[in-house]
């Protein structure tokens, strides 16, 4: 039997699910992607930063060259106070490319989704849209995914890449309780939202600098903004009065209050947010979730990306971390099906357990870093302000700090073990 006899059902057609689909295609493992939205590519969505480890994965999949021209190239970062006083100006993104050989890419979500979807080529027919999950049934030999339209998808395993409020995760926990009596909900820490963010896209204003990532720091507030050829993309972060675990849909009145709070923030040199707001073409106010699941799999169901790990977007590590999880998971699946295209349940369980244990601990380190980053930007305390704005830049130095970050985290990231590539290198060699 061929490896293609093993079939993976991916729940979620966002960047995480589509990236996993591209990796499975490279492994010659059959798959289907199920997406509840009516279309894979839309014209809305926040900016997504791929760090060198992320663009390296795109390169291995043959997608970095097709992505050229679809992302904003950022070279440096300017940090300011909310009133526009410059704190630092550093070519961090040029340094990262010099150190690791790959650029940082600032993708509008629709364009990254488009790159990943088009990368499937003829396998785009394996992506179903407008379908919602009803239930999952597991057997000794496989899984049955029951959909709300009455259809059923049959496969070997289910990968839940369906986001923070993952339906796959909820079903997985219910099945675990029914089959083993173990209540995952009681052993998991709650997913909390300490911050809210307003994502948006606005039309470009002539004269604003391109290729620069602007970030403001202030008490309980922060902003991030960068300009491309014809548009400006931003995220405005604000600490909530108290952390919440409830889902929230914001009203027009609540959005207006948020915008008013940021009205006089200088988001780019000589540009206050109130002057950018009328030029906005798309915005969305949402809560930012923080959480790390302890249970990433049960039986033939496994979680990927935001369904297992949530970080605020301020550090830009969410999708980069998800790509690493997808690489590790697909490497394990490829290893399993190379030996037997219809692996025993025990063999799969060992592979999924290894994936969970390894990637959970690696993700924990990234979650901790992301946790500290947003709190540093929003000056959680006087001590935080002093350390971030005074001690680290002067005592340690930004170049030394990012070299240490590159050696500790970026250089140790993974690529697919079964795909040959002409790897790019920089001043810091890849450990894997």
d(CA 145, CA 7): 12
Opening angle at CA 356, ends 351 and 360, nearest 5: 150
Element (H, E) at 96: helix 92-100
Q: Taking Cα atoms as reference points, which of 286, 260, 265, 264 lies closest to residue 197?
A: 286
User: What 3-state class would DSSP assign to 299?
Assistant: coil
User: What 3-state class would DSSP assign to 107?
Assistant: strand
Between the CA of residue 335 and those of 33, 50, 140, 352, what are the distances in Å? 22, 27, 20, 12
Q: Taking Cα atoms as reference points, which of 217, 207, 155, 134 lies closest to residue 31?
A: 155
Kindly report the number of other CB atoms within 10 A of residue 209's CB atom: 12
- Whether residue 224 lies in the annotated active site: yes
Contact 266, 84 (CB under 8 A): yes
The catalytic position among 53, 60, 196, 224 is 224
Q: Where are the beta strands (DSSP E) in 70-172?
A: 72-73, 76-81, 86-90, 105-108, 127-129, 133-138, 143-147, 152-155, 157-160
d(CA 28, CA 17): 16
Residues 6+ apart with CB under 8 A from 350: none
Q: Where are the beta strands (DSSP E) in 109-261?
A: 127-129, 133-138, 143-147, 152-155, 157-160, 192-203, 212-218, 221-227, 231-244
d(CA 170, CA 408): 34
Active site residues: 224
């Amino acid at each position: 039997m061929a490896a293609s006899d093993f079939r993976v059902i991916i729940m979620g057609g966002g960047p995480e699910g589509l990236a996993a689909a591209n990796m499975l295609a490279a492994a010659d493992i059959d798959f289907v992607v199920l997406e509840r939205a009516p279309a894979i590519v839309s014209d809305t969505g926040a900016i997504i930063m791929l760090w060198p480890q992320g663009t390296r994965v795109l390169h291995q999949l043959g997608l970095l060259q097709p992505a050229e021209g679809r992302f904003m190239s950022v070279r440096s970062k300017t940090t300011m106070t909310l009133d526009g006083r410059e704190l630092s100006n550093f070519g961090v993104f040029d340094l990262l490319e010099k150190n690791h050989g790959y650029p940082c890419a600032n993708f509008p979500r629709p364009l990254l989704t488009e790159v990943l979807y088009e990368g499937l080529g003829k396998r785009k027919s394996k992506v179903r849209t407008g379908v919602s999950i009803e239930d999952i049934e597991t057997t000794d030999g496989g899984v049955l995914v029951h959909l709300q339209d009455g259809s059923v998808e049959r496969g070997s395993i289910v990968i839940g890449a369906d986001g923070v409020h993952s339906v796959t995760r909820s079903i997985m926990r219910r099945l675990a309780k029914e089959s083993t009596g173990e209540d995952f909900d009681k052993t998991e820490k709650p997913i909390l939202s300490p911050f809210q963010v307003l994502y948006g896209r606005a039309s470009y204003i002539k004269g604003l600098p391109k290729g620069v990532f602007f970030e403001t720091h202030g008490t309980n507030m922060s902003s991030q903004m960068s300009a491309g050829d014809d548009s400006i993309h931003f995220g405005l972060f604000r600490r909530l009065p108290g952390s919440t675990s409830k889902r929230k849909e914001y009203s027009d009145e609540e959005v207006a209050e948020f915008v008013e709070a940021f009205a006089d923030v200088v988001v780019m040199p000589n540009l206050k947010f109130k002057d950018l707001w009328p030029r906005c073409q798309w915005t969305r106010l949402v809560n930012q979730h923080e959480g790390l699941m302890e249970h990433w799999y049960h039986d033939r169901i496994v979680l990927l990306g935001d369904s297992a790990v949530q970080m605020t977007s301020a550090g830009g590590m969410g999708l980069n971390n998800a790509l690493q999880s997808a690489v590790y998971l697909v490497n394990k699946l490829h290893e399993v099906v190379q030996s037997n295209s219809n692996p025993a349940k025990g063999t799969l369980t060992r592979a999924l357990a290894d994936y969970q244990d390894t990637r959970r601990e690696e993700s924990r380190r990234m979650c901790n870093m992301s946790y500290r980053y947003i709190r540093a930007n929003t000056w959680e305390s006087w001590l935080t302000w002093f350390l971030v704005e005074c001690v680290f830049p002067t005592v340690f130095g930004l170049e030394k700090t990012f070299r240490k970050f590159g050696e500790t985290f970026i250089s140790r990231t993974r690529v697919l073990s079964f795909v040959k590539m002409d790897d790019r290198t920089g001043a810091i060699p890849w450990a894997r």
